[in-house]
Structure 1
Amino acid sequence: MTRYKFESAEHELFRKTIRKFLAEEAEPNYAQWEKDHLIPLSFWHKLGEMGYLCPQVEEQFGGLGLDFSFGVIIQEELERIGSSLIGIGLHNDIVVPYIEAYGTQEQKARWLPKCVTGDYITAIAMTEPGAGSDLANIQTTAIRDGDHYVVNGQKTFITNGIHTNLAVVAVKTNPQAEKKHRGISLLVIEGDTAGFIKGRKLDKVGMHAQDTAELYFEDCRVPVENLLGEEGKGFIYMMEKLQQERLAVAIAAQTAAEDMLALTIDYVKSREAFGKSIGHFQNTQFKIAEMATKIELGKAFLESLIEEHIAGHDVVTKVSMAKYWITENARELAIQCMQLHGGYGYMEEYKIARRYRDIPVMSIYAGTNEVMKVIIAKNLGL
């Protein structure tokens, strides 16, 4: 049975294949990756060998030329294993699309084939210690010096920060621009560039296997030909690509919510108290019914959004709604599902405990939910 209306037999086979692959290669190893606080590079390379990295990339650059609907399947199946795999989705559906959309033919030929194989692992470096959602206020500079830009600054909370060897970096090429956002550009910086320094791997509350790091640039000389798109248009490019990024977050949150509900239903059926399963208690049944209803509402909304996005429609307002509502719903579900697991839900050996600590950040990254509400209100004419 297909999950979405737009799924064909080809989609169904694709989902079955990647689910089998992850059951063999990721699921048995995931707990160890969480303890190691890192996903091994060998897993990235296996994903590349199977065609699960950047399947949307054109065939001439090593990809499969598939549309975003296949990316949705990959995102969902990765999230079913665990949220620490989010860096793969970021590589596939957030960073590489910048190169596809704004890169020259030479840049695409240079970078995309290795993104498909996993030899390049990408990151998007926007956030700074003093600039999160306020992207126009970034302080990292890239000053032109002949045929190079000299980059200085710091980025933080960078997903894939430890593994990355190809980063799309938001910089100020014109720090004196009257309107701050017009001074921002995007540079692609390769990992072996002198002055590109990786800081510490950040110790997070959740998503332990996902490598998040600080990045530093100290007189980092980047060739002018690594400029992505036009100088001064970086802010516009980021705004254009945030629609898909926020949709990806909503997809992950929806998948996590569904997984938590399934885990909890299984648990309340088997766990007994006072001579019967706790699934027989009315309170449990009402909580399950409420959660199941919200999940179905989220799924219906998400399906329509995915279809509109694939069709090329502007769904910024709806995506902001989905990112806000679905992540909030997942966070509430995590609390409810842990409660229904009782004391066992607080034990690391139970997946619900991991979900409980992984879910909250979804309402923060890719633009906080408060920012989502600002966008919604603005686009409603307020």
Structure 2
Amino acid sequence: MSETTNIPATTTVGIVGAGPAGLLLARLLHQAGVDCVVLEARDRAYVEQRQRAGVLEQSTVDVLRATGAAARLERESIVHDGIELSWNRRRHRIDFPELTGGSRVWVYAQTEVVKDLIALQLVDGAPLLFEAQATAVTGADTDRPVIHYTHEGVARTLSCDYVVGCDGYHGVTRNAIPADELTTYERVYPYSWFGILADVAPSNDELVYAHSPRGFALLSMRSHTVSRLYLQVPNGTDPHVWSDERIWDELDARFAVDGDWKLARGPITQRAVLPLRSSVTEPMRWGRIFLAGDAAHIVPPTGAKGLNLAAADVTVLARAFEQWQRTGASAGLDDYSRHCLERVWRAEQFSYFMTTTLHTAPEQNPFDTRLQISQLDRISASPYAAAELALNYVGTAL
């Protein structure tokens, strides 16, 4: 059932999708006094359990604070001042504050961000309808586009001034734009991530990105008592074929370093294989439709950019809507796509760099591997190379 009984037929901004992009946009618009309605195809429980990113940039944390959605984040998140790179049985730490002038990142799961935003929205925000399946968007090139959806078994329509698609790559919003008006640039990587959640305290205080002859591995965390770890595996790997012991043994081998450091093991509670790909769709606006988050771009998780790019998109868009409602000026709306794509392509390049530097491609030869090692050696030896990585990782102000 919906969390809302009053279902409007018209609004200023119709938002399709209640992931972090749609929810944050709704919160920002509500604060700015811009009417909106959020339609989400799934039920609340499903939305609050979708496992995704867990690293927040300073700019993302700043906007969550500004919306009043950071109270639990401040209490429960883990602040990180760096990451560690691991290769050839040694590690090198990237010190974010030292290299960037004080910036840092926060480890706080996307599921928790979503829960916080939903709770706020249902208390004093704009209408949020769960199990409201959008089936089409019509009139994108008119002054009043319409979202067609079903809710509680009833076919309904929502007439809007503008529609924002936060419903992902396969969402109906993208399909409302003529195919010949969009250009999509894509890269599919020849490997996947095998991700696990384990009930064990993290074995390191900060994230560890490991390059190894056996493939990439990442040591991450969800809390002080729950570890999140990843292994590079071939595309199409069945996660249930691997025993727990095999997973831990492989992680041990890839994180191996000289010294007495040891990877802690614990019960594995979740496992999944995640394909990696990059995708950018241009433009991010056509007619009265805007695309935000995964509806417009996808990055491999190696650079920790997906959620942060979505937050940046909707922050830019909310400012533009506020300007339009207050002054009637559409300059911000007209510039949305160009403004966001500059950041998107910068993040795509960084994510590609991190992915191709740390992973072992199926066709990789010894020359390719030596180039990767040379790049990692340079990062450890040059403060300029380290600063470039750090600045890209922590992100830029909005």
* Relative contact order higher in (CA < 8 Å, ≥ 6 apart): 2
The structure with the largest helix share of the pair is 1
TM-score under structure 2 length normalisation: 0.26
The structure with the largest strand share of the pair is 2
